[in-house]
Amino acid sequence: MAKRQRHEEHENHERWLVSYADFITLLFAFFTVLYATSQHDVKKQEEFERSIRKYFSGSSDFANGAGNFNTDAENRSLIEPLITGFPPSSAGPQEVQDYVQRVLKKSMNKDEYQEAIQNVRHDSVGARIQLAAATLFLSGSAELRPSSTAALDKIGQLLKDSNRRLIIEGHTDDQPVHTLKYPSNWELSAVRATKVLRYLAARDQIDPKRMAAIAYADQKPVAPNDTEENRAKNRRIEILIVSDSHE
């Protein structure tokens, strides 16, 4: 009777596919997080963050057989470290602009942001936060509106984390001002810039040694002074976050 031949067990050469699939899954999750944090819809971003936190915090419970999400992990953000911490001094104006815009849109609701922030941009000197003067001050006045302090505080807390030099610029439109208190737009823009500087120093504890106030009156418009809408754009306070190369 012929002996049966024993078949040798073949080594599984496709086990690497398991590790490869895990790697692809993690890579997809990573780029999904980056994409989500680059979007400006704060409500959707917060919902996304909660979903991610629940998924990752719950995975350990499922591994232990519990089968429930760990709700305590709601207080531990996996995404926030990606957008917290002011960029280092080596970061360029574009990176600072992106960070500032992202944090302000996260800390302010949509209406508050649109009312207070005209623009966040950068130039060769640094990143700039443009604030609408109408939100901060009464017409022809340099007294801060009480309703403006909430937005200023959020900006102040953001800037407090930076050790960069800050220049507070006062700008007006070309409509002449002539009062006993403000003989011209130069005085008005100077006092407005100084008011914001003093508020940030006193209320938000930003070191005055790294701040300065400058008056530009109507000499640096961002739009032609030919309509009321454009004049409103020119009436502004700009907070310049000076880049490291210009310190």
Q: Which two tokens stand for residue 39?
A: 């979007």
Q: How far is CA 246 from CA 51, 91, 129, 242, in A?
A: 42, 12, 17, 6
Q: What local confidence, expressed as pLDDT, does residue 139 receive?
A: 85
pLDDT higher than 90, residue 117 = yes
Q: Which two tokens stand for residue 32?
A: 């999904």
42 or 85, higher pLDDT: 85
Q: What local confidence, expressed as pLDDT, does residue 28 receive?
A: 78
Give the model confidence (pLDDT) of 38-78 as tens digits. Answer: 655 555 656 666 666 655 555 444 344 444 434 444 443 43
Give the model confidence (pLDDT) of 167-182 as tens digits. Answer: 999 999 999 988 889 9
Q: Are 151 and 112 in contact (CB under 8 A)?
A: yes
- Please give the model's pTM, rounded to 2 decimal places: 0.66
Mean pLDDT lowest among 14-23, 38-47, 147-156: 38-47
65 or 128, higher pLDDT: 128
How would you classify residue 34: left for phi > 0, otherwise alpha for psi between -120 and 50, otherwise beta?
A: alpha
Mean pLDDT lowest among 81-85, 195-199, 234-238: 81-85
Q: What local confidence, expressed as pLDDT, does residue 3 receive?
A: 53
Nearest CA-CA partner of 148 in 157, 137, 159: 137
